[in-house]
Amino acid sequence: MTLKLYCDRMSQPSRAILIFCKMNGIDFEEITINILKNEQHAPEYKAINPMSQVPTIVDGDFTLFESHAILIYLSCKYPGVASHWYPSDLVERAKVHSALDWHHANLRRGSVGVIVNNVLLPLNGLPFNAQAAEEAEKTLVKALTILETFWLKDGPFLTGRSQPSIADLNLVSEVMELQLLSEKEHDRLLSPFKKVLQWVEDTKSATAPYFEEIHGVLYKARDEFRALMAAKSGENDLK
């Protein structure tokens, strides 16, 4: 029975798993759960994942959610997976776990906060919360600084590795979500972080051509959002 992957290419962790499966030749069926249409709250999906979150995998009888857990499971279950994705050395593996754990409350929290406050709220006509936006940006900038000065200080990839691990896939997908910001905001936030930018490129190259292919949906949404925000801003100027 083929692995089922319930995901949305607009979701950062979903993209990480899709790229991973394609890179490692894991056969899977992609079932889209559209987050913007709230499909994750449908009773059929709740029966699969009671947390109503995306992504989820179903491998025969076995259901699993949380993207880090999924990537580790796939690395261990499928023998064709190259060992650099989830190293077997205890110490190297511990550092990959450490980066994945750090991610939750730092890069992810910051990045999601910035996108929600600067893209999703205005798009849905909801009021802008300056305090929340400021907090989110502070968290994001702190996380990018730690990536630049700590996680990427010893190697092209996280934790001093010379080849990417599942941590790189997951965290780079997170940074890619910032593409949804205006070009000006994106450059303002990311341009000081040269190592981070290089690391994103290195991860793209290491997972070519799948990285760009999977991110196609995000790029399309980015172009649409930017056009919409430009139009709105144009209207405001006219007013």
Partner 1 sequence: MYGILWCRALQPRTAQLPRPRANRGPNVGTFSMWYARDRRYILLETIDAWAECLNTSTVDGMIRLELFVTSNLQLKKVKDRSEMVVKVYGERMSEPSRAVIIFCKVNGIEFEEIEIDVLKNQNYSPEYKEINPMNQIPAIVDGDLKLFESHAILIYLSCAFPQVASHWYPSDVYKRAKIHSVLDWHHSFLRRGAAGFVFNSLLAPLSGIRSYPQVIIQAEEILLRSLSKLEHTWLKDGPFLAGNSQPSIADLILACEIMQLELLSEKDHDRILGPYMKVLQWVEDTKSATAPHFDEVHELLFESQKRFREQRATKSRKTQVKSKM
- Measured from the CB of residue 163, what is the shortest distance to partner 1 in angstroms? 19
**Nearer to partner 1 among residue 104 and residue 188 (C-beta):** 104
- Measured from the CB of residue 106, what is the shortest distance to partner 1 in angstroms? 8
Task: Give 145-185 as a DSSP string.
Answer: HHIIIIITSSSSBGGGBSS--HHHHHHHHHHHGGGGS-HHH
Identify whether the C-beta of residue 67 lies closer than 8 Å to the C-beta of residue 55.
yes
**Nearer to partner 1 among residue 155 and residue 204 (C-beta):** 155
Identify whether the C-beta of residue 110 lies closer than 8 Å to the C-beta of residue 140.
yes
Query: Order of strands, edge to edge, in the sheet holding 62-65?
Result: 28-32, 3-7, 56-59, 62-65
- Measured from the CB of residue 95, what is the shortest distance to partner 1 in angstroms? 7
Identify whether the C-beta of residue 220 lies closer than 8 Å to the C-beta of residue 9.
no
Helices (H), the chain: 12-23, 43-48, 67-77, 90-103, 109-115, 121-123, 130-146, 166-176, 183-190, 194-206, 210-214, 216-238
d(CA 114, CA 228): 18
d(CA 59, CA 3): 5
d(CA 184, CA 188): 6
- Measured from the CB of residue 189, what is the shortest distance to partner 1 in angstroms? 21
**Nearer to partner 1 among residue 47 and residue 238 (C-beta):** 47
**Nearer to partner 1 among residue 90 and residue 238 (C-beta):** 90
**Nearer to partner 1 among residue 53 and residue 163 (C-beta):** 53
- Measured from the CB of residue 27, what is the shortest distance to partner 1 in angstroms? 18
Residues that bind partner 1 (CB under 8 A): 50-51, 62, 64-70, 72-73, 76-77, 90-91, 93-95, 97-98, 100-102, 104-105, 146, 149-150
**Nearer to partner 1 among residue 79 and residue 209 (C-beta):** 79
- Measured from the CB of residue 230, what is the shortest distance to partner 1 in angstroms? 32
